[in-house]
A and B are shown apart, each in its own frame.
Chain A
Amino acid sequence: MHIMEGFLPGPWWQIWFAVSLPVILYGIHKLNRMMEVKRDLLPLLAVAGAYIFVLSSLKLPSVTGSCSHPTGTGMAAILFGPAISAVLSMIVLLYQSLFLAHGGLTTLGANVFSMGIAGPVIAFVIYRTGMKAGLNFYFTVFLATAMADMATYLITSLELALAFPAQAGGILASFQAFAAVFAITQLPLAVIEGAITALIFKYVIQIRGDVLVKLNVIGEAGLRRIKEAAA
């Protein structure tokens, strides 16, 4: 899903850097504070980051006959919020752009925005709304992370469309052209990502359910209910 090196002309790559930078700085600030007061969260943070590492390295074949990869950012977004997810995503995007020529340094701002900010914000909002509405916990996790995956690719299409408006039809027409490449390919991958993330959450609850309560991801009563349902 990464926009390749050099494929965003000025002023767009600068604009996306400007948009992403404050979120990254806020995320680093949040991380520092979290590490001061709640050091025992560090392992879970590492797991969330590692999850992004694994999922974004898996290029999966899709119905369209082309390959794309999931993002893995939904889990970090639900646990730690979008700002910290943006920092974790940036680490992965840097690795891929430096060592794999996948994505790029000039397009880093745009890629951080689509994968590290837009996706996680969607995941966070859907998760919180779903939990408030009393939806099943695992279904909500599925929905939030699958939609975050889709959102990342739709925003990537939008970023490209803004930079390359079609001569006939403008931004909307080229958005459709880019979304046609990304969105259909991504749909099955988003379903897989949502399902696997829901499964991972089951295990996180088994081993460190207390941490989820501490992070305000679920309430005490909610945790008890989920654990009883599993027993």
Chain B
Amino acid sequence: MKIEIIVAVIVLVFTAQFIYVSSTTNAEFGGADGQAEGVIEELTGGTYEPIASPFWEPPSGEIESLLFALQAAIGALVIGYFFGYYRGRNKSNEQEFVKPGN
């Protein structure tokens, strides 16, 4: 249980940090990638032209979150499936070991 508690505390501290920052500042919580773009603009004096642009961009913020959520869901599904599979398999193995003794 010890690790679970430590992780829970870290997540709580992280959440508190977010609530604090978001309520005391006007931070926009934009992506750090976009900020890097700003730094490039500063460094080059705004002369840099991207050499390529994406083939396709999500048409709206909603579609973008949909695809991000899909990415997370696929990942979580795979993790949950195999963890559950192994857990069940280990359990049924244990039961088989017990049976002959009954």
Question: Does A associate with B in a complex?
Answer: yes
Interface of A is mostly: helix
Q: Does B78 contact A5, Cβ atoms closer than 8 Å?
A: no
- How many whole Å from B31's CB to the nearest CB in chain A? 6
Alpha-carbon gap, A6 to B55, bound state (A) = 11
Whether A65 contacts B27 in the complex (CB less than 8 A), given A101-B56, A203-B83, comes out as yes
* CB nearest to B84 among chain A residues: A207
State A137–B23 Cα separation when bound (angstroms): 38
> What interface size band does chain A fall in?
35 or more
* Chain B hits for A186, CB < 8 A: 32
Give the interface residue-count category, chain B. Answer: 35 or more
Question: Which residues of A from 201 to 219 have beta carbons under 8 Å from B?
Answer: 202-203, 207-208
A144 to B8, CA, bound (A): 20
Alpha-carbon gap, A192 to B15, bound state (A) = 11
How many angstroms from the CA of A33 to the CA of B30 in the assembled complex? 43
Contact A181:B32 (CB < 8 A) given known A6-B50, A6-B52: yes
Decide if A57 touches B21 in the complex (CB within 8 Å): no
Distance between Cα atoms of A9 and B21 in the complex (Å): 36
Q: List 20 A-B contacts (CB under 8 A).
A: A5-B53, A46-B82, A53-B78, A54-B79, A57-B68, A57-B71, A57-B75, A65-B25, A66-B30, A67-B32, A100-B58, A101-B56, A101-B57, A101-B58, A160-B36, A178-B36, A188-B14, A199-B3, A203-B83, A208-B86
Residues in A lying within 8 Å of B, measured CB to CB: 1-10, 13, 43-44, 46-47, 49-61, 63-68, 92, 95-102, 104-106, 138, 160, 164-167, 174, 177-178, 181-182, 185-186, 188, 191-192, 195-196, 198-199, 202-203, 207-208
